[in-house]
Amino acid sequence: MSYVEVPGAKVPIRMWTDPASVEGVALQQLQNVATLPWIKGLAVMPDVHYGKGATVGSVIAMRDAVCPAAVGVDIGCGMSAVRTSLTANDLPGDLSRLRSKIEQAIPVGRGMHDDPVDPGRLHGFATAGWDDFWERFGGVAEAVRFRRERAAKQMGSLGSGNHFVEVCTDTDGAVWLMLHSGSRNIGKELAEHHIGVAQKLPHNQGLVDRDLAVFVADTPQMAAYRNDLFWAQEYAKYNRTIMMALLKDVVRKEFKKAKATFEPEISCHHNYVAEERYDGMDLLVTRKGAIRAGSGEYGIIPGSMGTGSYIVKGLGNEKAFNSASHGAGRRMSRNAAKRRFSTKDLEEQTRGVECRKDSGVVDEIPGAYKPIEQVIDQQRDLVHVVAKLKQVVCVKG
396 is in an annotated binding site: yes
328 is in an annotated binding site: yes
Q: How far apart are CA 341 and CA 106, in angstroms?
A: 28
Q: Is the CB of residue 34 less than 8 Å from the CB of residue 278?
A: no
269 is in an annotated binding site: no
Q: How many CB atoms lie within 10 A of CB 309?
A: 27
352 is in an annotated binding site: no
335 is in an annotated binding site: no
Helix (H, G, I), strand (E, B) or coil at 338: helix
Q: How far apart are CA 264 and CA 275, in angstroms?
A: 25
329 is in an annotated binding site: yes
The CA-CA-CA angle for residues 245, 251, 253, to 5°, reads 105
Helix (H, G, I), strand (E, B) or coil at 100: helix
296 is in an annotated binding site: no
302 is in an annotated binding site: yes
- CA nearest to 237, candidates 80, 13, 34, 63: 80
- CA nearest to 65, candidates 283, 319, 292: 283
Burial class (CB in 10 A: 0-12, 13-18, 19+), 118: exposed
326 is catalytic: yes
Quote the distance between the C-alpha of residue 271 and its chain's center.
6
305 is in an annotated binding site: yes
Q: How far apart are CA 89 and CA 123, in angstroms?
A: 25
163 is in an annotated binding site: yes
Catalytic residue among 193, 194, 269, 326: 326
The most distant pair of C-alpha atoms in the chain lies apart, rounded to whole Å, by 65
180 is in an annotated binding site: yes
- CA nearest to 72, candidates 393, 289, 378, 369: 289
58 is in an annotated binding site: no
239 is in an annotated binding site: no
Measured distance between the N- and C-terminal CA atoms of the chain, rounded to whole angstroms: 34
Q: How many CB atoms lie within 10 A of CB 64?
A: 16
Quote the distance between the C-alpha of residue 233 and its chain's center.
11
Helices 220-254 and 96-105: crossing angle in degrees, nearest 10, is: 140
Question: What CA–CA distances, in Å, run from 16 to 105, 222, 379?
Answer: 39, 31, 7
18 is in an annotated binding site: no
Q: List binding-site positions for GMP.
A: 162-166, 270-271, 302-305, 309, 326-329, 396
Active site residues: 326
Q: List binding-site positions for Mn(2+).
A: 74, 163, 180, 270
Q: List binding-site positions.
A: 74, 162-166, 180, 270-271, 302-305, 309, 326-329, 396
